[in-house]
Amino acid sequence: MSVRPILTAPDPRLKAVSTDVGAVDDEIRRLIDDMADSMYAADGIGLAAVQIGVPKRVIVMDLDQKSGKKNPRAFVDPKITWASEETATFEEGCLSVPEIWESVDRPARIKCEYLDRDGKVQLLEADGLLATCLQHEMDHLEGVLFIDHISKLKRSMALRKLSKAKRLKETG
């Protein structure tokens, strides 16, 4: 298990459309473990494989870790099979868009199908933070960032702030 560096916008590799895994083998389980380590090291609650430069449809998430106990969940080849018309708004952030937080509207409830780390098909009905987080991470698999959901003006302000922070980090 190892912590891998997380790509940040506007890195073009974040725009890659991830490919299906198909079958969960030991290599994918190693990827899941590295992703969980990388997510915890960066103090995040979710991570898609493409964020560490591996364009495969794998997501890890842990919404409980703020409470101190680690309970990482893996979602392989996730698909949304149903989404509510009702929407919910959350302030979203992203390890690939550090220090930027913006409100995003998304379907409030979803049904989703995925493979777990044992390769078993799982069905999940989600609402609240879990529904938002899953949709945010699944966007990464299509090369979409949460800032792609906000206005152009807000997006360019966010990217400017980000590149300024990057420059400061490189010089400081």
Binding site for Ni ion (CB under 5 A): 94
How far is residue 85's CA from residue 115's CA, in Å, rounded to a whole number?
26
Residues 85, 137, 142, 170: which is the catalytic one?
Answer: 137
Instruction: Give yes or no: 102 in active site.
Output: no
Q: Which is nearer to Ni ion, 36 or 94 (CB)?
A: 94
At closest approach, how far in Å is the CB of 11 from Ni ion? 13
The residue behind tokens 């999940």 is: 124
SS3 category, 54 = coil
Closest CA to 96 of 157, 160, 62, 48: 48
Cβ-based nearer residue to Ni ion, 98 or 107:
98
Question: What's the rounded Cα separation, in Å, for the pair 36 and 34?
Answer: 5
Of the candidates 103, 143, 138, the one whose C-alpha atom is nearest the C-alpha of residue 124 is: 138
**Minimum distance, C-beta of residue 98 to Ni ion, in the bound complex (Å):** 10
- Is the CB of 21 or the CB of 94 nearer to Ni ion? 94
Q: Shortest gap between Cβ of 57 and Ni ion (angstroms)?
A: 15
Residues involved in catalysis: 137
